[in-house]
Structure 1
Amino acid sequence: MLTNNEFNSLKNMKKEILKCKQIIIPKPGKKLILDVISVNKKEDFNISLYRNRINFEKITYQNLHKRTSTPLIRIDLAGPPHFNPDGEKVLPPHIHIYKEGYGDKWAEPLNNIFTNTNDLVQLLYDFLKYCNIINIPQNILFIPVLTNL
């Protein structure tokens, strides 16, 4: 369990994605994991991107601290409402930000932090920037799923 100060330190440290020149938001049912390291080389992270295989709009972006296996920040774009520990109902899209004593159990509306929540590529770029990634690839792609109507 991290303290809020430890979380803030991890969130605010500059980070780099390892060996990545392009990001393709995964196809339904798939997950992409990006290895990330702090610039001072002392902390390792994963950024994971997951796309639900049934509800194609249900996409999750998450920043995980590897040493403690702690989810630090997570965006849920679709799915059921989330209920915070105090009973408050938060509709998707929403963001979970680590809170001491609760982990990632608290959520707030995504538009409280990000202004462009409809463009998945821009949102991923903004999420990586929010996680303090300093070498975000310029080539981020989203391939829509075509369905037969």
Structure 2
Amino acid sequence: MDALERFIVEAKAVTYMAGKKAAEVPSRQGAKDIPYEKGPYRYLDSHFGGTDFLGQEVVWHDETPVWAMNYYGRIIDPERFDGERAGTVIKQALSALYQEKRFLGGFAYVHPLGEYLDDAAGDYRSFIGTERILVDGRLAYRLDYQGGMIKR
């Protein structure tokens, strides 16, 4: 695993698991920005919304953007599932995934509130994927994501 991939996993784990401490002044009006820095790398997760949301993660190496991903997630079945439940399931599932020192799919996690599934193609250099939560076998939440290396 190279240094960039290790940093991406660490940044995601630290910012998501530590309660997503947002920056005081966001980079864009209405956004919630969650930064992380270590050594020559800087990470920023910047997103809009709540139960339905859109965001982007970027990693810089020595002030040059080198990696990014974007995502759009939403509650599909608000009658049976809400943002608080989704957050609970996702936090526990991602915690287990990050302990495996990775962030891309091919991952399933069963929680009493729902079954978390993440399917992705590619690796950190170029990928596309879907994160889903099923409740009683029915789709309740979905997030689509894609990203990879940035080259000039």
**TM-score, normalised with respect to structure 1:** 0.35
Structure 1 or 2: more helix by fraction: 2
Structure 1 or 2: more strand by fraction: 2
Higher relative contact order (CA 8 A, sep 6+): 1
**TM-score, normalised with respect to structure 2:** 0.35
